[in-house]
Structure 1
Amino acid sequence: MTRVLMVGSAEQSGGGVASVVRLMKGMPFWQKYHCGWLGTQIQRNYGVKLWYALKAYAKALFTIWGYDIVHFHTVPDRICLIIQMPVLLLALLGRKKIIMHVHMGNQLENHTKNKLFIWCLNRADRVVLLAKKWQKCFAEWFPTVKAKTAVIYNACAPTPTVDYSIKEKSIIMAAFLNYNKHPDLLLKAWKNLKADFPDWHLTIMGNGEVERFQTMAHGMALDDSVTFTGYITGKQKEDVWNRASIYCMCSRNEGFPMVVLEAWARGVAVVSTPVGGLPDVIEEGRNCLTFPFDDVDTLTVQLRRLMESSELRKQMAEYSKTFGERVFAPVKVNESIEKLYEEILNG
Structure 2
Amino acid sequence: MTKVLMVGSAEQSGGGVASVLRLMKQMPFWEKYRCGWLGTQIQRSYGVKLWYALKAYAKALFTIWGYDIVHFHTVPDKICLIIQLPVLLLALAGRKKIVMHIHMGNQLEDHTQNGLFIWCLNRADCVVLLAKKWQNLFETLYPMVKAKTAVIYNACAPTPAVDYSVKEKSIIFAAHLDENKRADLLLQAWKRLRGDFPDWHIMIMGNGDVEGYSRLCHDMGLDDCVTFTGYITGKQKEDVWNKASIYCMCSRHEGFPMVVLEAWARGIAVVTTPVGGLPDVIEEGRNCLTFPFGDAEALTKQLRRLIESPELRRSMAEYSKMFGERVFAPERISESVDALYKEILKS
Paired residue for 1:96?
Answer: 96
Structure 2 residue ranges without an equivalent (≥5): none
Paired residue for 1:23?
Answer: 23
Paired residue for 2:185?
Answer: 185
Paired residue for 2:278?
Answer: 278
How far residue 15 of structure 1 moved from its aligned partner, in angstroms, is 1.2
Alpha-carbon distance between aligned partners in 1 of 2:167 and 2:315, rounded to the nearest angstrom: 14
Paired residue for 1:14?
Answer: 14
How far residue 268 of structure 1 moved from its aligned partner, in angstroms, is 0.1
Cα RMSD of the aligned pairs, angstroms, is: 0.4
Residue deviations 1:100-136, cap 9 Å, x none?
0000000000001100000000000000000010111
Alpha-carbon distance between aligned partners in 1 of 2:143 and 2:293, rounded to the nearest angstrom: 28
Residue deviations 1:7-31, cap 9 Å, x none?
0011110111110000000011101
How far residue 346 of structure 1 moved from its aligned partner, in angstroms, is 1.1
Q: How many residues align?
A: 347
Paired residue for 1:236?
Answer: 236
Identity rate, percent: 80
Alpha-carbon distance between aligned partners in 2 of 1:10 and 1:199, rounded to the nearest angstrom: 41
Alpha-carbon distance between aligned partners in 2 of 1:242 and 1:33, rounded to the nearest angstrom: 35
Structure 1 residue ranges without an equivalent (≥5): none
Paired residue for 2:224?
Answer: 224
3-state DSSP of counterpart to 1:31: helix
* 1:331-342 → structure 2 map (5 Å cutoff): 331-342=331-342
Alpha-carbon distance between aligned partners in 2 of 1:215 and 1:259, rounded to the nearest angstrom: 25
Alpha-carbon distance between aligned partners in 2 of 1:252 and 1:135, rounded to the nearest angstrom: 19
* 1:1-347 → structure 2 map (5 Å cutoff): 1-347=1-347
Alpha-carbon distance between aligned partners in 1 of 2:244 and 2:165, rounded to the nearest angstrom: 11
Alpha-carbon distance between aligned partners in 1 of 2:223 and 2:65, rounded to the nearest angstrom: 58
3-state DSSP of counterpart to 1:196: coil
3-state DSSP of counterpart to 2:194: helix
- TM norm structure 2: 1.00
Amino acid at match of 1:39: G
Alpha-carbon distance between aligned partners in 1 of 2:56 and 2:168, rounded to the nearest angstrom: 46
Amino acid at match of 1:45: S
Residue deviations 1:158-208, cap 9 Å, x none?
000000011111100000001000000100000010000011000000010
Amino acid at match of 2:196: D
Amino acid at match of 1:229: T
3-state DSSP of counterpart to 1:185: helix
Alpha-carbon distance between aligned partners in 2 of 1:235 and 1:79, rounded to the nearest angstrom: 34
Amino acid at match of 2:123: R
- TM norm structure 1: 1.00
Q: Which runs of 4+ in 1 moved over 3 A?
A: none
